[in-house]
Structure 1
Amino acid sequence: MTPLAHAQAQAESSPTWWPPGSLVLRLMLVAMLAVAVSGVLSAWLASRASEREAIRRVVGQQTEEVEVMARLLASKIEQSQKVLRTVAEGITPEMLNSPSSLEWLLRQGLPAVQFFDSMQVARPDGELRVNLHSGRLEDAANLDPAERDALRRTLSGGKPLVSELVGGRTAEARVMFTMPLRREDGPVLGVVAGALKLHSQGLLPPSMTLPARDDSRLIVFTREGTILSHPDPLRLLGNVRDEAGLGPVYARWLQQAQPVAGRGTTVVQPAHIVSMAGMPLPQWLVARVSDSRAMMAPLEGAQRNAWWLAAAVMAASMALLAAFMVWMAQPLERLCHSALQLAHGVRSDAIQWPRATGEVGTLVKVFEGQVQQSAQQHQQRAQLEGQLQAILDNASVGIVITRQGILEVVGRQACQMLGYCDEELHGRPARTLYASDADYQRLGERVQDAFRAHGAFDEDVCFMRKDGSPVWARVQGRGVRADDMAGGTVWILEDMTAAREAQQQQDWAAVHDPLTQLCNRDAFVQRMGVLLAERSARARTPGTATVDAAAAGSEGDGVMLFLDLDHFTVVNDVAGHDAGDDVLRHVARLVESQVRQIGWAARLGGDEFAVVLPGCSLTRGQVVAEQLRAAVQAWEPSYQGRSFTLGVSIGLVVLDASLQDVPSVLYAADMACYDAKRAGRNRVETRHASQAAASGRMPLGPV
């Protein structure tokens, strides 16, 4: 099956659905990538936002928690101080001098004494009056130096104090509260002190750290870093610098020398979230240290579920998007299929163009318009081809069109001249028409030189017929497009075999110019004399005068043109005589091709030419003269890389009855050409015999 038949069969059985093409597939891929990227980016942004929100909530919760714990511990300290103040108010100055009364008061008289684990009372001179431990009196020498120092500082400062941690072991660790005893007029009479064990209910009970959490630790420590409360009992009285997460935060806090404030602060680290708040009076700090990874584990699980859900949604969205794009692309795919059918030669009436709106609808209209325009162009091309074929079949000369050395068009006259049948030479190499490769190569070089110099070719060429016999033809060649020789060349062939054989005769050389192949001056005088004699004979024959007058009125007496090239010497002086001879040959060819059908031409000598147009009217002669002048002016030869501009001065004389001999005709035409030279050159001037006679320059006899 041929491609055309296959395409026709496809057009008759077109499916209702077409798979997407490469463009649609690429668009689908881009759209899916966009959906995937946007989905991943949205999920990532949502995950980051949820993570930041979770951390923000943890930070707020922890900050609030340590602030509450700091206030709670501060209230416990304040409550202990109030209890101690109640005890101090019950001690009178007389009791300081009566140890027994003071002992009775502390054991039985004041219930508030039971709040403390131990109590001490000292006089202003520092003498310890009572040292009561768990309800038992002990010797003053057993008092811890740190406790004794706290009593002295209270006596000297006169202000309540909360001591630092006292005791080197965890079971003995305690905190001492002091309260000055004053008279009513203000002087310090002594000091009373109460101590609470570190983990007593009134200070830091073990239940404060409950419930214990693996992902978080609540720690109370002093400004110096001593741990007072920790979920791990082994860490009590240790240094907070060794705590994971809390150590670096505490070190930076010390470097910044910040005061112990009740307001909480939180630091977020890669692995920990640390919140701290302080108690100004005892200079303690409460810290909550949370493992961020452990706390974010539930969130990460939720995020993983969200990622899977997002992936499922993206997959469903991409599938729906692909299906929608395939559905939307159906008009475009049908349009592509219809365009391919049109390219494969399917009849336009058999193609089913899709009905659509938007861009596809616009393209359909454009394609339909192109189809109509193509049909019109095809019809016009068929008409032009028919006209061209008619010209080729009926032209009196042979016409050949070549491109890149191939015979593309060969007219009937050219085929008959070369001995071939019609269309037999079409598509064959031009080399077929020559006897040898050397002849073809030499002619090609001459053609290139002529095109470079003149933009055209005009010479006699010897071809080889199909039967091997030679045939001479005058060949004129020009480019199909003057500015692009690669576009092809048009050749006009005129059979010159008979003329070439005549040139071989001895008498032909005697009457023709060897350079231009035109008639020489002697032949011109002879032919002009014959023309004038025939006209005189007709005029003397009775009964022909009236006929000749009527013919002269309709056709004219005939005219002669005298041509003299302008600026010809410039070509000889600059480019040399070979270039000058080439110019004369080309001008001779140009003149002969213009007047061959209505007259003849001759070279009178040098750069002077004569053109005789028998039976031509003055008006027609002036038109021909102007055509010759314009043709010479339009030609710009090029030699040795330089272009030259030529012109021609033309003198026109009417061959009326007053001109009876050749010298008179030549003289009148020469004077008309002289008038053209004097008027500025490159122009046509007309003279009648009466004008020459009036000027006194008309010769009376032969010249």
Structure 2
Amino acid sequence: MTPRPAPAQPFEAPSWHMPGPWVLRMILVAVCAMVLAGAGAAWHVSQVSGQEAMRRVVAQQTDEVEVIARLLASKMEQSQKVLRTMAAGVTPRMQDSSFFDDQRQYLALPALGFFDAVQVVGSDGAMLLNLRGGRPVAAASLEPAERDVLRRTLADGKPQVSELVAGGTGDARVTFTMPMHREDGSVLGAVGGALKLQSQSLLPPSMALPERDDSRLVVFSRDGTILSHSDPTRVLGNVRDEAGLSAVYAQWLQQAQPLVGRGITQVMPDHIVSMAGMPLPQWVVARVSYSRALLAPLAGAQRDAWWTVAGVLGAGAALLVLLLGWMAQPLARLRLAAQQLLQGDTQGPVQWPRVRGEVGDLVQALERLARQGSQHAEQQSTLGSQFQAILDHASVGIVITRHGVLEVVGRQTCLMLGYTPAELQGKPARTIYASSEEYARAGARVQAEFAVHGAFDGDVCFMRKDGSPVWARVQGRGVGAGSIDGGTVWILEDITAAREAQQQKAWETEHDALTQLFNRAAFDERLGALLAERATRLRDNGAAPHAAAAGECVVLFMDLDHFTVVNDLAGHDAGDDALRHVARLLESQVRQLGWAARVGGDEFAVVLPGCALARGQAVAEQLRQAVQAWAPSYQGSSFTLSMSIGLVALDASMQDVASVLYAADMACYDAKRAGRNRVQTGRAREASASGRVALGPA
């Protein structure tokens, strides 16, 4: 008998197979790429974070000094308003009589207790009253600087602010002066009020708090005298002795760069210096920070982050080697399986091609597996259902178009546009646009983008079935590379809510948050554009540089009379409510004729384009009467408000916003001098020729 052959032993593959040389090279390349990419990303993040931290510090300091400068400027303006009220209470009869000889009489002057020292002089310069701390003192006690500012007020007839009157730190003070006028406009005398430098009404010591080791807040005059400092011992010193600030101050003096209305920040090797100025007096607010101290936490965090990145990269590289080795196991097993399959299906020796490594073995196995074509049919049968599942479950809209027809429309696209799939499938792409013109413009954009970039990526406005617009972020790629002739695949993402939020943000930057009127910046921009348009029209018509253009535009400048009474007696909430109500009155009156803006605390402006002078005067009178007729009641008390209005009709001599506002402001000032609650018409050309600016920064 022929002996029976022994049964073949089953093939037992080892649990781990060493990858071939090609896979090992790929693992080495992947590890190197991961380490380089991680180190590069960490370095980039470190640089960007440092720059972003510095940008935020600069922006924060700049905003801080601007806010403090505006706060101090408002304090100066409040002091002048108080002094103006006192000046209005002094009449010629008081100077001619023995009024100032009786302490009980002059102590009744309004707002007398607001100032640390008060002086009243006649038109001849004679001292009528000199109080300090509420008590009369000799005229000889006045400092030369105080005498000089009173003389300049009598000579010029305008409010003045003195330079710093320096004594000791506790005696340093600033004097505000205000002229007193007779009914004919001549100077009756002058009133002066002094505030101590460190008083709550001027520069309280708490302004520089809290103290910080890495930063100093300094207020100084143009000549470098320190008025306020985080270190009280530095008050009345000089900024030339301040580390970091001295170099920036010297550079600023040399360049004569104006600081009023804006802040500047200069980054130095060891310091970050931010400065902002005030118009009157010429004081500067500065914040000096030690950059290294500010950024020290970031530097420490970056060092810790580098060590963390190094550890993560090391662990990641080890894990990547193991992961790629594990992922390569199917390929290694496939090699062994191919060897086993070939050895089991053949009789006798097999001639293998001379191919090194696992690639040759894989080629042989694939040649045998290629004969098994039955799998192709199964793959093809499932392809359609998989594609439909993608369309139905994708989180974004998907559309495939060919020659302007919607061939495939996904479920999310239908939900976005309010259609059913049957209503869009096979329909022209024009269906989802508001008009043929919109469709043509969108098509031109697509053609241009594909011509340059080979793809499209942009925002497009479509039309829903109900006629409402919907904005989508659209990304388009050709089915064929870089071409749309063979069809285009579009991905749509609804961004309607985001665009509405952007539009709302743009509205907020142009409007005053309290009154909802245009703010000062928007007012300047719109009025500037109007002036530029008028100048262009006159130039095109061949008009002379100063030719009259009467009747084309009227500008009103309005200031509420006695508004501080509401704030003082009823509180700031009541004052805010009054401002909102006045804003609504202005808006309702001028909506059809022009536009209104809030340009200051209780100051408003109205522009009436295409309005004749007579019509503008009538509108101004209507506004005045509307405010006068309103009698608000707060906390059980009734108040009466009125409005002084300055009006100016523009002519060709008005070339910029500043000259227009100056003319209107001067007219408003004349209205107040004439008794308030009235409309005063100013002459634009004379005001423009003076070259002065009416208002400070918004």
Band the TM-score falls in, shorter-chain normalisation: 0.3 to 0.5
TM-score, normalising length from structure 2?
Answer: 0.45
- TM-score, normalized by length of structure 1? 0.45
In our comparison, the structure showing a higher alpha carbon Rg is 1
